Amino acid sequence: MHELGITQNIVAIVSEHARGAPVKRVTLEIGKLSAIMPDAIRFCFDVCTQGTVLEGATLEIIEVVGLGKCRQCGTEVPLDQPFGICQTCNSVELDIIQGEELNIKEMEVEELCA
C-alpha cells in the first residue's frame, strides 16, 4: 500500500508548514486517475497523525475527475481511466489534462496565544 508513504509525506509537509501550531483541518485534492485510493489515505491519516500536531485533525478529500484533450480535434473528454476515445473524431490520442493530481489544497491551524 503506497498510500502509507504518501500519507506520511503529507503529514510531514503539513507539520512543517504549521510550525508547531495544532492543525484542525487538512484538505487534499486527489485525482481519480492518480492510482491513489482516498479511503486508504483516510485510514492512513488517522495512524500517521498520532503524536503529531495533526492528531485529531479533520481530513477532507476532494476527488478531481479525469479529463483528457484530443490531440486531433481539441475536444475535452471525460475519463474514468487513463485512456479513452474522443466522441467527436474517434481518436484515441488523448492527453490527460486533469485527474492525476495529489495536492494539499488547504490546512487550517489553531492560533497560538502569545
Task: Could you list the residues known to form a binding site for Zn(2+), using ranges.
Answer: 70, 73, 86, 89
CATH of the domain at 17: 3.30.2320.50
At 114, is the pLDDT very low, low, confident or very high (cuts 50, 70, 90)? Answer: low
Cβ contact 36:1 at 8 Å: no
User: 71 in a domain, yes or no?
Assistant: no
User: 89 in a domain, yes or no?
Assistant: no
Per-residue pLDDT for 112 more than 90? no
User: Rounded distance, CA 9 to CA 45, Å?
Assistant: 11
User: 76 in a domain, yes or no?
Assistant: no
- Number of domains the chain contains: 1
Per-residue pLDDT for 34 more than 70? yes
Task: Could you list the residues known to form a binding site for Ni(2+), using ranges.
Answer: 2
pLDDT confidence of residue 6: 97
User: 27 in a domain, yes or no?
Assistant: yes
Using a pLDDT cut of 70, give the percent of the chain over it: 96
User: 31 in a domain, yes or no?
Assistant: yes
Q: Which residues are CB-contacts of 113 (< 8 A; sequence separation ≥ 6)?
A: none
Q: Cell 481539441: give the residue.
A: 74
Task: Could you list the residues known to form a binding site, using ranges.
Answer: 2, 70, 73, 86, 89
Q: Where are the strands (E) in the chain, listed by range?
A: 23-31, 58-64, 66-70, 76-79, 94-98, 102-109
* pTM, rounded to two decimals: 0.86
Q: 29 is in which domain, residue-wise? A: 3-65+99-109
